Structures are given as structure tokens and as C-alpha cells.
């Protein structure tokens, strides 16, 4: 496998630094066999759409056999595909078809827990001397690891649940039907490596590793980010590096940047990690019309090893999480973005991008502009490229996981099944419903969001500084202007954003770039040469500019 030529920037082991990622759910993308549920055959038929959009790597949400009590994050078999998504051959065909188009694929590695339906757990609960017993975390009482926070606050009362079969408590950081694996047991680590090998041999380009901070428990600690957890992760990385160089591990650790930093290790743990706190601050900066929240979090973010990269996103399949903000900031976010309580869940907001931004195309473009120009590799969430809506009434986080809207016809082009058979109803209101918001109609409209997204992706792909460059903030007196320089080798990009809903002027101190000509990247027009005096830019409401600097 080691010699396999990879798509994208062939042979470049740092491919993930330049990549634009697209997160999608097989179930929600396209139903190829008319049973009301998306599948790999359907997804294959839409790969050209994704290629056209210009993304580089697909992140596939859990596709394994599962009772679907946490949308597939409750895995019942790590070595297979959920029958409703297709067969193993369908998966292979999908992977090949993606690779043929130069699209990479990363899948989910849910390491922390399994479903309680997994045969490992079923065996473990049989008796205390079952060989699998020690694969999970058991206790006679529910008072061990006191004080460890509960993550799914709206549903769980404790991190322990009683197993009536073996008459003991088992530990779980998420839903009670998701028992935590015991990573103190070397057999569990070995098995996780076997799982990785299985999919790597098939050709996946990496994994998004779920819930990494919680692998190990120790009395008297928060049971999060423990040194022993890092040992496990280093073990898996070392194996990966030895046997499958060029594949990528991405950490989901919803923590402050200084707590995520150790997950990069000395370049010997994760290649990538999501930067969670940047996300709510993009929304906050926009609402406050002030760059402060964003500048602060980025300036507080520690340096990471050379081969590593942040992953940044606006929305994903979960709630817009407000764990990494202060109580005051959370109140502000709820007040501004989820006044309606039904839109709130756990510590977050279960809404999609377009409705969060009140369907304001200017704000949608501005936030995507930030996503594609701030440090890190951007992750787009399926459907947000056409401005899909949500349905907060569907329970849990299902309202942001509705079927992709392909056209204005039967089931929005998602499936030929009867509408009643669809895994969950399509969005059908007059504003965001599939008749109003869909791929086909946006393809036919040159000024649609979809065309705009394709264009901005294309433009980002012309400059490596976005993915690889460092960032230096310019701090004009007008705090509604967020301006920064992204520099990589000889390339410098100047980004200027107006966070306000009113016209603004910004005077940028660009003295040290005197003599350069800013070339506006969307239209190619040269702007006045940078001189000694402050560089004046006037900006329309929510406008942003990207300039490549040229020296003649
Ligand atoms: C994080 C995933 O993003 C979320 O969807 C899931 O519910 C939890 N991990 C538990 O697996």
C-alpha cells in the first residue's frame, strides 16, 4: 500500500495543508436504490458534483453497522458497512471512483466507545470473568471519577450506567448506550490498530478520530487529556507512520487551543486537529461588528509543529457548540442566534449556516470568506454551499442532517422512494425548502451561492499561503475592520473584511510592504500601489477583499 499514488497533490505527504474538506453523511446525500436512505451508490453518482465544487477531500460520517441511536457514532461492527448504505464492494467502488477524480476520502474512527449492541460489549457483560470483560470500564459503585463533567447534558444524568445483566456499572462519556472502551487494556489498543489497518488497506486517506480526549480514566482527575491518553495516540500514530506514511489523522478534541496543542505532540500524534473555539467567535465577531473575539483567539493559539495543521469550520453535523466560550459569551450567542429555545441543545445551537445568518447572502459570503482565508484547512458541511435550511423540530441534532436538496422535484431529487419512506423529512418550507433551495436551480443561476462558492474555492486554490502561510493582523483604528496578511515563502495575501452592516473605511499600516501592488483576486484588478502613508480602503457592508501582493 505504501507506494499507492495519491490524488490531489500527488505524493505530497502534507496534502492536508492545502486541502479543502467536505463533510457529508452517506445517508443524507443521495439514495441510489430507492429505499429512502442515502447510500454509496448514490454518493458515487454525485462525485462529479463534488469535483465541480472544487473540494479535495471528503469526510464521511460513520458508515458502519449501528443501531443508529447516535446517528452511527454508536458502532456495532468496525469491519463492515451498514447494509442500508451498501456492501463492502460498494464502498470500494466509491473509494476508487473518488480517487479517480482526485478526491481523497477520510472516514470516522470512533475510538472512545462502541454501541452497547457491539458483540464486544455483549460478551463483556456476560460475566465478570469473560475475556472481553476488561475491554470496557466497570465499577461496583457509581461514585468513582466523581466530578467528571457530563457532555450530553440534556439526556444523561451520570457517566455511569447500571448493567442489569452483569450487575455492575459501566462508564460512558456520551450516551448511556455508548460504553467507553478501556484503553488501559493493550488488547483494545491492538484491536483499534487492526481496525485502522483494515480501512487503510482498502485505501482510505485518513481518519477523523472521534472524542480523543476521553480515552483513559484516572481517579482524582477530569479524565480528560491525560498523559496516558497521549500514549495511546502516539502508539497509533507510530504504527500509521511506519506502515502507511502520507495518511492523515485528524483529532476531534473540543478544547481550548492550549489544551489541543498537545494532541500534535512533537509532530508524533495528530497531523490535524479541529480548532473549535475559532468557530463561535466568527459568529460573535460578525454580530458584535468587532474583530476582537477572533483576533484574541487566534493570537492566543500556540504554534504547532511544522507538519501539523488546524481544521476550521463554520458548521458541522453537531450543534454549534458553545463549550469553548465564557458564560457571558454563551448567553450572548444564545440571545443573538437562538432566541427560540427549541434551537438550543446541550451547550449549543442546532442550526445550519444560512438560517443562523438570517439568509443574508452578504453574511454567508463574509463568513465563508473568513473560513477560507484564516489559518487552517477549511471544512465545508454538505448543503451549506447552497444555503440549505434546518428543522429544529426533528429532535437531537437531526435537524441539520436532512436530505441533500438536488432539485425542485420528487423528494428534492434525493430519492425515488415515497416521501414517507425517507429517513427523515426534507426541508420543505417556502424559504429553505427543496423547491426554493436546490443544486439544479443554483446551477442555472450564474449568481447563485453555489456558483459563488465554486469561484471562491477556485480562487483559494491559487494561493498556497491560505493553507500554509502564517498570519499577521493589521490593527486599523476602525475595529470593525478585520485585516490580516497571510504569507508563505514569497507569496503574500492581504485580506480585509468589513464585519459591519454599514459602510466602513479602514486605514491600514502597510509601510513595510511599500512598493507592492495589491491585485484583487476575484477580478484581477490592480489597486493603487502601497506607499508610505496608511493604505485607505472603503468597504461596503459585510464586504471583504482578498489581494495578492505583486512587486514589479
Ligand atoms: C462527536 C460526534 O461529532 C457526535 O456527533 C457524537 O454524538 C459524539 N462524538 C459521540 O460519539
Q: Which residues contact 475 (CB under 8 A, 6 or more apart)?
A: 295, 483
| pLDDT tens, position by position, 28-38 | 999 999 999 99
* Annotated catalytic residue 252: yes
**Residue 473: which H helix or E strand, with range?**
strand 470-474
Selected catalytic residue, list 210, 319, 384, 390: 210
Q: Distance from the CA of 74 to the center of ligand 1, in angstroms?
A: 9
The residue written with cell numbers 505524493 in the block is 11
**CA-proximal residue: ligand 1, atom 3 (nearest):** 318
Q: State the CATH class of domain 468-550.
A: mainly beta
What pLDDT score was predicted for residue 250? Answer: 98
Contact between 114 and 178 (Cβ < 8 Å): yes
In the reported structure, the alpha carbon of residue 61 is separated from the centroid of ligand 1 by a whole-number distance in angstroms of 10
pTM across the whole model: 0.97
Instruction: Tell me whether residue 16 is exposed, middle or buried, using C-beta atoms within 10 angstroms of its C-beta: 0 to 12, 13 to 18, 19 or more.
Output: buried
E-strand ranges in 275-372 read 309-313, 320-321, 344-345, 348-349
The per-residue pLDDT for 2 is 36
Is residue 4 pLDDT above 50, yes or no? Answer: no
pLDDT of residue 11: 78
> Rounded to the nearest whole angstrom, what is the distance from the C-alpha of residue 258 to the centroid of ligand 1?
22
The ligand 1 atom at the shortest distance from the C-alpha of residue 397 is 5
Q: pLDDT at residue 487 above 50? A: yes
Distance 349 CA to ligand 1 centre (A): 15
What pLDDT shows up at residue 552?
A: 78
Q: Could you tell me how far CA 192 lies from the centroid of its own chain?
A: 22
Nearest residue by C-alpha to atom 11 in ligand 1: 73
CATH number for the region 119-171 comes to 3.90.400.10
Q: Does 409 have pLDDT greater than 90?
A: yes
- pLDDT tens per residue, range 16-75: 999 999 999 999 999 999 999 999 999 999 999 999 999 999 999 999 999 999 999 999
**Residue whose CA is closest, atom 6 of ligand 1?**
73
* Contact residues for 432 (Cβ-Cβ < 8 A; gap 6+): 354, 355, 359, 387, 388, 389, 390
Which of ligand 1's atoms lies nearest the C-alpha of 318?
5
Ligand 1 atom closest to the CA of 317, numbered from 1: 5
DSSP code string of 76-140: S-TTS--GGG--HHHHHHHHHHHHHTT-EEEEEEE-SB--TTSHHHHHHTT-TTSTTGGGB-EES
**pLDDT for 356-371, tens place per residue?**
999 999 999 999 999 9
Residue ranges per domain, the chain?
A: 15-110+186-460, 119-171, 468-550
Residue 10 is predicted with a pLDDT of: 58
Q: Phi and psi (nearest 5°) for 197?
A: -55, -40
Give the pLDDT confidence score for residue 8 in this predicted structure. Answer: 44
Residue 211 near residue 222 (C-beta atoms within 8 A): no
When pLDDT is averaged across residues 441-458 and rounded to a whole number, the result is 98
Q: Which residues have any ligand 1 atom within 6 Å of their CB?
A: 70, 73, 110, 174, 210-211, 252, 317-318
Q: Compute the distance from residue 1 Cα to the ligand 1 centre, in Å.
A: 30
- Rounded Cα gap, residues 430 and 435, in angstroms: 8
User: Looking at residue 388, what DSSP letter applies?
Assistant: -
The residues near 358 (Cβ < 8 Å, ≥ 6 apart) are none
Ligand 1: distance of its center to the CA of 107 in Å? 14
123 pLDDT tier (thresholds 50, 70, 90): very high
Task: Say how far apart CA 118 and CA 395 lie, in whole Å.
Answer: 25
Catalytic residue among 56, 71, 74, 252: 252
| Nearest ligand 1 atom, CA 113 | 11
- Which residue owns the Cα nearest ligand 1 atom 7? 70
- Report in angstroms the alpha-carbon separations of 246 from 133, 204, 488: 36, 11, 22
Mutate to test the pocket of ligand 1, among 23, 73, 152, 212 (most ligand atoms within 8 A of CB): 73
> Closest by alpha carbon to 265, among 242, 245, 237, 239?
237
Q: How far apart are CA 141 and CA 19, in angstroms?
A: 48
Nearest Cα residue to 484 out of 445, 523, 513, 454: 513
User: How crowded is the C-beta side of 43, counted as CA atoms within 13 Å?
Assistant: 31
The pLDDT tens digits for 194-231 are: 999 999 999 999 999 999 999 999 999 999 999 999 99
Calpha distance 239→412 (Å, rounded): 44
Atom of ligand 1 nearest to the CA of 174: 10
- 114 in Cβ contact with 79 (< 8 Å): no
HEC profile for 146-204? Answer: CCCCCCCCCCCCCCEEEECCCCEEEECCCCCCCCEECCCCHHHHHHHHHHHHHHHHHCC
Residue located nearest, by CA, to atom 5 of ligand 1: 318
Say whether pLDDT at 1 is over 70.
no
Pick among 3.40.1010.10, 3.40.50.720, 3.20.20.80, 3.50.50.60: CATH of 15-110+186-460: 3.20.20.80
pLDDT tens column, 321-350: 999 999 999 999 999 999 999 999 999 999
Model confidence at 352: pLDDT above 70 = yes
- Region 471-486: what's the mean pLDDT? 98
Average pLDDT for residues 285-300, to the nearest whole number? 98
Nearest CA among 367, 338, 257, 244 for reference residue 301: 257
Percent of the chain with pLDDT over 90: 98
The CA 64 to ligand 1 mean position distance, Å, reads: 14
Whether 331 is a known active-site residue: answer: no
CA 516/CA 522 separation, integer angstroms:
18
pLDDT digits 0-9 by tens, 134-182:
999 999 999 999 999 999 999 999 999 999 999 999 999 999 999 999 9
Percent of the chain with pLDDT strictly greater than 70: 98
Query: Mean pLDDT across the stretch 274-280?
Result: 97
Amino acid at each position: 500500500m505504501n507506494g499507492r499514488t495519491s490524488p490531489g497533490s500527488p505524493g505530497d505527504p502534507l496534502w492536508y495543508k492545502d486541502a479543502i474538506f467536505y463533510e457529508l453523511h452517506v445517508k443524507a446525500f443521495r439514495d441510489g436504490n430507492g429505499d429512502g436512505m442515502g447510500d454509496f451508490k448514490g454518493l458515487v453518482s454525485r462525485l462529479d458534483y463534488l469535483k465541480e465544487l472544487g473540494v479535495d477531500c471528503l469526510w464521511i460520517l460513520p458508515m458502519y453497522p449501528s443501531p443508529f441511536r447516535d446517528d452511527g457514532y454508536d458502532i456495532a461492527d468496525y469491519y463492515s458497512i451498514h447494509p442500508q448504505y451498501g456492501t463492502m464492494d460498494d464502498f470500494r467502488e466509491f473509494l476508487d471512483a473518488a480517487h479517480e477524480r482526485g478526491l481523497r476520502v477520510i472516514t470516522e474512527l470512533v475510538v472512545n466507545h462502541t454501541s452497547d449492541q457491539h458483540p464486544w460489549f455483549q460478551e463483556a457483560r456476560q460475566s465478570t470473568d469473560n475475556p472481553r470483560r476488561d475491554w470496557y470500564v466497570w465499577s461496583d459503585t457509581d461514585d468513582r471519577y466523581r466530578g467528571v463533567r457530563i457532555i450530553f447534558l440534556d439526556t444523561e444524568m451520570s457517566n455511569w450506567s447500571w448493567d442489569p445483566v452483569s450487575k455492575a456499572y459501566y462508564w460512558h462519556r456520551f450516551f448511556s448506550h455508548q460504553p467507553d472502551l478501556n484503553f488501559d487494556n493493550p488488547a483494545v489498543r491492538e484491536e483499534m490498530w487492526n481496525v485502522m489497518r483494515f480501512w487503510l488497506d482498502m485505501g482510505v486517506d485518513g481518519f477523523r478520530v472521534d472524542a480523543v480526549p476521553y480515552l483513559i480514566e484516572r481517579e482524582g482527575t477530569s479524565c480528560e487529556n491525560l498523559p496516558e491518553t497521549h500514549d495511546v495516540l502516539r502508539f497509533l500514530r507510530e504504527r500509521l507512520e511506519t506502515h502507511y506514511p502520507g495518511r492523515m489523522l485528524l483529532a476531534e478534541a473540543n478544547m481550548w487551543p492550549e489544551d489541543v496543542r498537545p494532541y500534535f505532540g512533537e509532530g508524533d500524534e495528530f497531523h490535524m486537529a479541529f480548532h473549535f473555539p475559532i468557530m463561535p467567535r466568527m459568529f460573535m465577531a460578525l454580530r458584535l461588528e468587532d474583530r476582537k473575539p477572533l483576533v484574541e483567539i487566534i493570537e492566543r493559539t500556540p504554534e504547532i509543529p511544522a507538519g501539523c495543521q488546524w481544521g476550521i469550520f463554520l458548521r458541522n453535523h453537531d450543534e454549534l457548540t458553545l463549550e469553548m466560550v465564557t458564560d457571558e459569551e454563551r448567553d450572548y450567542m444564545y440571545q443573538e442566534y437562538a432566541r427560540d429555545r427549541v434551537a438550543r441543545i446541550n451547550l449549543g445551537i442546532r442550526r445550519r449556516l444560512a438560517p443562523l445568518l438570517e439568509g443574508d447572502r452578504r453574511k454567508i459570503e463574509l463568513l465563508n470568506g473568513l473560513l477560507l482565508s484564516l489559518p487552517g484547512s477549511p471544512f465545508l458541511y454538505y448543503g451549506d454551499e447552497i444555503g440549505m435550511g434546518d428543522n429544529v423540530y426533528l429532535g437531537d441534532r437531526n435537524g441539520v442532517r436532512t436530505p441533500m436538496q438536488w432539485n425542485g422535484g420528487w423528494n428534492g431529487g434525493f430519492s425515488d422512494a415515497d416521501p414517507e419512506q425517507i429517513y427523515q423529512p426534507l426541508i420543505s418550507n417556502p424559504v429553505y425548502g427543496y423547491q426554493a433551495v436546490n443544486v439544479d436551480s443554483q446551477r442555472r443561476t450564474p449568481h447563485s451561492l453555489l456558483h459563488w462558492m465554486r469561484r471562491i474555492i477556485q480562487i483559494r486554490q491559487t494561493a498556497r499561503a491560505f493553507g500554509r502561510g502564517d498570519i499577521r493582523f493589521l490593527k486599523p483604528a476602525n475595529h470593525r475592520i478585520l485585516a490580516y496578511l497571510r504569507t508563505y515563502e514569497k507569496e503574500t495575501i492581504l485580506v480585509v473584511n468589513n464585519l459591519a452592516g454599514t459602510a466602513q473605511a479602514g486605514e491600514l499600516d502597510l509601510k513595510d510592504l511599500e512598493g507592492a501592488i495589491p491585485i484583487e483576486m476575484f477580478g484581477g484588478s490592480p489597486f493603487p500601489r502601497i506607499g508610505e502613508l496608511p493604505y485607505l480602503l472603503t468597504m461596503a457592508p459585510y464586504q471583504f477583499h482578498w489581494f495578492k501582493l505583486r512587486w514589479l
